[in-house]
């Protein structure tokens, strides 16, 4: 993926990792369009950050279709980044968790699949097209507190691999961004743990890796390697224990 001269559409992008990466890409000379469910927040970011915003709810197929038609009528989008997602804790012994679980699957997994399905034929007609999905280190080692989130990110990882295999030989590059725990309020909307990776540090390292490895299939900052490689390096049980200590 080239890191300048693109027109990039983010699902999500109004906060956390998505917003910081949108700012970095904008500063590198890309046209960046973010999306979200709150018009007031999109309007605020348009004023403060000069980031164009589009209303989008990835849980709603009609909303995806409308956003796609709107964005592609005004821009030659060549990069799709499926950033929209939610992360909530669950108690699997409480049947009430099911509603939370269904919402996480609908947004994190089905939202990703719906959006890629809508954009894919269009992107394949563009120059230098890219689909970037966003999984998590928790796709590879589970945090017991967030079981459905972990499962959706594992599914996004597998779906991304299948997408890449089916598109082999085409002009479309498929990249998986695999974040570690980053200092955002993604988990239950709560304040982040100060031991997590600082957001600015994550965004900077991600952009550097994209610049250094334009043909990369996965973007792995240093802090996520212990999760990504745990099973391969036969440290899985120890990493599971360490990750879940205190939770």
* Catalytic site includes residue 122: no
Q: Please report, rounded to a whole number, the percentage of residues in the chain having pLDDT higher than 70.
A: 100
pLDDT digits (tens, 9 = 90+) for 156-214: 999 999 999 999 999 999 999 999 999 999 999 999 999 999 999 999 999 999 999 99
* Per-residue pLDDT at 246: 72
- The domain made up of 7-244 has a fold known as Rossmann fold (3.40.50)
Answer yes or no: are the C-beta atoms of 12 and 34 closer than 8 Å. Answer: yes
| Choice among 122, 149, 159, 236 that is catalytic | 149
Q: How confident is the model at residue 247 (pLDDT cuts 50, 70, 90)?
A: confident
> Please, what is the Cα angle at 60 between 59 and 63, to 5 degrees?
125
Give the mean pLDDT of 43-57.
96
pLDDT at 101: 98
**3-class SS at 25?**
helix
Nearest alpha carbon to residue 174 among 218, 206, 111: 218
> Tokens for 128?
């230098």
Q: What is the CB neighbour count within 10 angstroms for residue 169?
A: 5
pLDDT at 69: 98
Q: What percent of the chain has pLDDT over 90?
A: 99
Cα distance between residue 202 and residue 21, in whole Å: 9
Helices then strands (H, E): number in the chain?
A: 9, 7
pLDDT in tens, 3-23: 999 999 999 999 999 999 999
Confidence at residue 4, expressed as pLDDT on a 0 to 100 scale? 98
What phi and psi values does residue 235 have, to the nearest 5 degrees?
Answer: -115, 15
Cα–Cα distance, 196 to 127 (Å, whole number): 37
Over residues 60-76, the pLDDT tens digits come to 999 999 999 999 999 99
């Amino acid at each position: 993926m080239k890191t300048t001269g693109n027109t990039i559409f983010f699902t999500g992008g109004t906060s956390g990792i998505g917003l910081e990466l949108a700012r970095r890409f904008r500063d590198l000379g890309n046209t960046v369009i973010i999306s979200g469910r709150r018009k007031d927040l999109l309007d605020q970011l348009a004023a403060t950050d000069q980031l164009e915003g589009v209303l989008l709810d990835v849980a709603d197929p009609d909303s995806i279709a409308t956003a796609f038609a709107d964005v592609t009528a005004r821009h030659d989008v060549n990069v799709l980044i499926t950033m929209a997602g939610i992360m909530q804790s669950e108690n699997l012994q409480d049947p009430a968790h099911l509603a939370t679980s269904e919402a996480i699957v609908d947004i994190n997994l089905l939202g990703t699949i719906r959006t890629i399905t809508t954009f894919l034929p269009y992107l394949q007609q563009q120059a230098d097209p890219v689909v970037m999905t966003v999984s998590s280190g928790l796709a590879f080692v589970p945090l017991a507190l967030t079981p459905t989130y972990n499962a959706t990110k594992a599914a996004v990882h597998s779906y991304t691999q299948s997408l890449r295999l089916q598109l082999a030989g085409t002009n479309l590059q498929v990249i998986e961004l695999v974040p570690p725990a980053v200092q955002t309020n993604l988990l239950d909307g709560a304040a982040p743990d100060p031991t997590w990776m600082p957001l600015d540090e994550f965004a900077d390292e991600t952009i550097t890796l994209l610049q250094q490895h334009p043909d990369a299939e996965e973007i792995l900052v240093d802090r996520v390697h212990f999760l990504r490689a745990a099973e391969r390096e036969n440290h899985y049980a120890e990493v599971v224990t360490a990750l879940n200590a205190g939770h």
